Amino acid sequence: MISDKNTSKTSLSELGEFKLIDHLTQSAQLGQASTLKGVGDDAAVLDHKDCQQLVSTDLLIEGVHFDLAYMPLKHLGYKAVVVNVSDICAMNGQATQITVSIAVSNRFSLEALEAFYEGVHLACKTYSVDLVGGDTTSSTTGMMISVTAIGTVEKDQAVYRNTAKSNDLLVVSGDLGAAYLGLQVLEREKQVFQVNPGSQPDLSPYDYLIERQLKPEARKDIVRLLSALAVRPTAMIDISDGLSSEILHLCTQSKVGCHLYEEKIPLDPQVMAASEEFELNSTTVALNGGEDYELLFTISQDDYSKIKANPNLTVIGHMTEAGEGAYLLTRAEQKIALTAQGWKGF
C-alpha cells in the first residue's frame, strides 16, 4: 500500500488561501500562444482567432472516484488533468489550457498538495497544456477536485456524438478492460493490507493493469494520427464509462443501431489472464469496466483502407439502422442486446 514517509508537515493554515495558490502555481509555465494571461488575475485571458473553442469540466470526489489508500497524490493530479484532456481529444480537438479547483480537509498538509500539483504540472508538460487558474477551499468530507479543460479545434472540424450514420464502421483505439482490472487488483491488496499492514504484495504481474488505472493517458496521438491519415471520424466519444455505455450514447444521439463483434474487441494478455484469475468474463470487463480513456469513433467505409493496417486502431463493428437496435454478436454466434452497465453517477 502507498505510505507517506515524510514526517514534517506544513499546516495549510500557515499560508492562507492566496499564499497557498501562489505556492502551488508558481511553477506553472505558459506555452500556448493563445494564453494572454494565466493565474493571478480575476480571470484567464485567451485569444482564438481562426478556430473554435472547446470547454469540458469533470468533478472528482474522494471515496467516489478515487481512494487515497492506493492512489498516490501525484498520480491523482496527473489523472485529473488527463481525463479532461481526453474529452477534448474526443471532440477532435487539442487541449490548450486547464483550470484546477480543489477542496480539502485539514488532514491534508502543504506537502500533500505539493505532490498533487506535481502531477498536475507533469500532465500539463506532457500534453502541452497551460494551467491558467482555479480555486481552493476547505472541505469537511475529504478531497474534491474540479478540472476544466479548454481546447481548440479547426473551424468546422469538431466531431460530435450525434453524427454517426448507418453502415459506418465502429473503431476503437488501443485495448480495453485493463483499468477496471487494475482497480480490482488494488482493491484486493487494500483488503489484504488492512488485515496485515506488514504485507508487501508483488504487483509486477499486474503492472500494465495498475498503470492503466492510476496513470491513464489521453489519446492525443490518435487525433494526430487520424489527421495524418486524412480520416475524419463521423462521430466520436472517449471511453470513460465502459464500451457498452459509450456505444449506446453514439446510437441514441445519432439515432442509429450497432452490431458489435465480440471476437474483434481488443484485449491485452494481462486483461485475459487477470479476468481468469478474478473469475470474470473478459468481454464483460471490456464492455462495462470503464476508465480506459480510449477513443471510440465511427468512420465511413470509404476510409477503411486508410486504417486497416494500423496497429493502434481496431474495427470492432458497424452501425445499422436505428430499428435494428444495438447488439453484441458473440463468438458463439449469439445476438445479445447491449446494455449500459458501466459507471452510474447516481
Q: How does pLDDT run across 74-107, given as a tens digit for each residue?
A: 999 999 999 999 999 999 999 999 999 999 999 9
Reply yes or no on whether the pLDDT at 345 is more than 50. no
Q: How many other C-beta atoms are found inside a 10 Å radius of the C-beta of residue 141?
A: 10
What are the pLDDT digits (tens) for 243-262?
Answer: 999 999 999 999 999 999 99
pLDDT, residue 2, reads 41
Q: How far is CA 178 from the centre of its chain?
A: 13
Q: Strand 144-154 relative to strand 313-321: parallel, antiparallel, unpaired?
A: unpaired
What are the pLDDT digits (tens) for 35-48?
Answer: 777 666 555 566 77
Domains of the chain: 12-154 (3.30.1330.10), 169-337 (3.90.650.10)
pLDDT, residue 346, reads 38
Listing DSSP states for 27-95 in one string gives T-----TTEEE-BTBSS-EE--SSEEEEEEEEEEEBTTTB-TTT--HHHHHHHHHHHHHHHHHTTT-EE
Burial of 236 (0-12, 13-18, 19+ CB in 10 A): buried
- The DSSP symbol for 177 reads S
This prediction has a pTM of: 0.88
Listing DSSP states for 194-243 in one string gives HH-TT-----GGGHHHHHHHHS----HHHHHHHHHTT---SEEEE-SS-H
Reply yes or no on whether the pLDDT at 27 is more than 90. no
pLDDT, residue 44, reads 58
1 confidence band (pLDDT: 50, 70, 90): very low
- The DSSP symbol for 187 reads H
Between 63 and 12, where is the model more confident? 63
- Cα Rg, the chain, nearest whole Å: 21
Q: What is the mean pLDDT of residues 56-84?
A: 95
What are the pLDDT digits (tens) for 184-234?
Answer: 999 999 998 888 888 788 899 999 999 999 999 999 999 999 999 999 999
14 confidence band (pLDDT: 50, 70, 90): confident
